[in-house]
Amino acid sequence: MSNIKRKKIVIAGGGTSGWLAAAALSKQLSSICEVVLVESDDIGTIGVGEATIPTVRVFHKLLGISEKEFVRETDATFKLGINFENWRVKDESYFHSFGKTGKDSYLAGFQHFWLYGREQGLAQLYGDYCFEFQCAAHDKFATSDKSKINYAYHLDAGKYARYLRKLSEQNKAKRIEGKIDSVNLDSASGNITSLTLESGETVEGDLFIDCTGFRALLIEETLKTGYEDWSHWLPCDRAWAVQTTLADKLPPYTRSIAHENGWQWRIPLQKRAGNGLVFSTKFMDEDTAKEKLMRSVEGEMTTEPRLIKFVTGRRKKVWNKNCVALGLSSGFIEPLESTSIHLFMTGIIRLLRLLPSNDISLANVNEYNQQTAAEIERVRDFIILHYHVNERDDSEFWRYLRKMDIPDSLQHRIDLFAQSANVFESEYDVFQIDSWVQVLLGQGVMPQHYHPSVKTMPVAELERFLTSYKQGVAAAVNKMPRHRDFVSQYS
């Protein structure tokens, strides 16, 4: 008989992050750990978080999720990227697709060939060479086991949490309903020993995961871990969110529409749309922002607009003592590139890999904190890029963003692309070269030079390559069904 004591992992909070953690930990560790989740129906969840990036599909594989079941249960639609409208200047847009654009050589990425082609008057729009972008532009989508199309989902956050709860409970995770009244510490080690609920019930554990959202009840209110504030780079600090009926179209992409003091999202689900207006109270008051959102939504509003307050930044240590912060309690970057759910998922995978065997090892904790910080800082840089490189002159908000100092790490990426069309991918980068190229070009960074090797390709051959690639993409898109038709028969 094994004499290994089963560890007890207690998850505080049952929003997207809490149930994602419960689903993954119960699936992977149920033979060695007991997983308990405490949540309060009275407090509820934040109820936003409806757009994802393609890595969500990898995480779903880990959970053994059937895509059809997921699409049915969460009202999901498919997402091929984001259409950025009015970002560089008003009345222009560009698309950040999840697909691969063109074809690289060993020495040079496709952007170098495209720049050479453009110089020769041969290359068309950058997005013409990307299958996913062209599918999005024509409202087309299909997938199958054999398909290589790269995509993510739009989903209903409430239904997603309920679906994940069902999966977790199938794997013997236990849910306790109740409001956490106090968090109890060991006086010698400072570790959390238990949570006391308003009912008087005490929930003891070995490891605690703080998924209590912006409240950060364990990691901050109790352990006073500290927060690194990034609002000087990302000054938006509020969002009004509202649900509406669906407009006529069901585009397979998120819309991100910049306005004078922030931006607005539109997320199409199967039966409704999610909308929100993100803004900075340094530049726009709450009432004006609410009115602006109500004036500009498409379809009928089916909920009252809800105000969400936030401060962009990261928890100084996401793992402190025997507490790991996941979800909004670990830090927040506005949903411009739909990165939060991805960060919850990588946080969970990292925890699974660095799970303590007996006592918590400081080296494990440091490794976890270092990796998490590196990852979120790279996301931060990518988001700042959208704001900083702009040519809008219609408000103080955009002028401030253009003039502000940015992190050296981002300045280097912009300089590198501007001077040589080069982009690199480093460890912990969430966004790959294709993403950086699309956003850099879309925001208006046009490289001065490209890789010398591309000029060894004769112009006639370059023309054949660009033309046949574009025609191949167009022909493949032609065969695809409409997104709406695919969704309705898929689930």
Ligand X SMILES: Cc1cc2nc3c(=O)[nH]c(=O)nc-3n(C[C@H](O)[C@H](O)[C@H](O)COP(=O)(O)OP(=O)(O)OC[C@H]3O[C@@H](n4cnc5c(N)ncnc54)[C@H](O)[C@@H]3O)c2cc1C
Residues found near ligand X in the complex (CB under 6 A): 13-18, 38-40, 43-46, 48-52, 157, 179-180, 211-213, 215, 217, 239, 241, 276, 308, 310, 327-328, 335, 338, 340-341
216 and 315 Cβ atoms separated by less than 8 Å: yes
Phi, psi of 256 (to 5 degrees): -120, 110
Q: CB neighbours (10 Å) of residue 7?
A: 17
* Shortest distance (Å) from residue 50 CB to ligand X: 5
DSSP state of 430: S
234 and 312 Cβ atoms separated by less than 8 Å: yes
Nearer to ligand X, 181 or 461 (CB): 181
- Sequence-distant (6+) residues with CB within 8 A of 364 are 354, 356
Structure-block tokens of residue 44? 């509820």
407 and 233 Cβ atoms separated by less than 8 Å: yes
Nearer to ligand X, 135 or 180 (CB): 180
Phi, psi of 388 (to 5 degrees): -70, -45
Cα 121 from Cα 144, distance rounded (Å): 38
* Shortest distance (Å) from residue 399 CB to ligand X: 25
* Shortest distance (Å) from residue 446 CB to ligand X: 30
* Shortest distance (Å) from residue 429 CB to ligand X: 17
Nearer to ligand X, 179 or 399 (CB): 179
* Shortest distance (Å) from residue 330 CB to ligand X: 8
Nearer to ligand X, 258 or 454 (CB): 258
465 and 113 Cβ atoms separated by less than 8 Å: yes
* Shortest distance (Å) from residue 114 CB to ligand X: 30
Nearer to ligand X, 157 or 421 (CB): 157
Structure-block tokens of residue 14? 């049952």
Nearer to ligand X, 55 or 420 (CB): 55
Cα 420 from Cα 451, distance rounded (Å): 7
* Shortest distance (Å) from residue 277 CB to ligand X: 9
Nearer to ligand X, 39 or 434 (CB): 39
**Burial call 150-175: b when 16+ CB within 10 Å, e when fewer:** bbbbbbbbbbbbebbbebbeebebbb
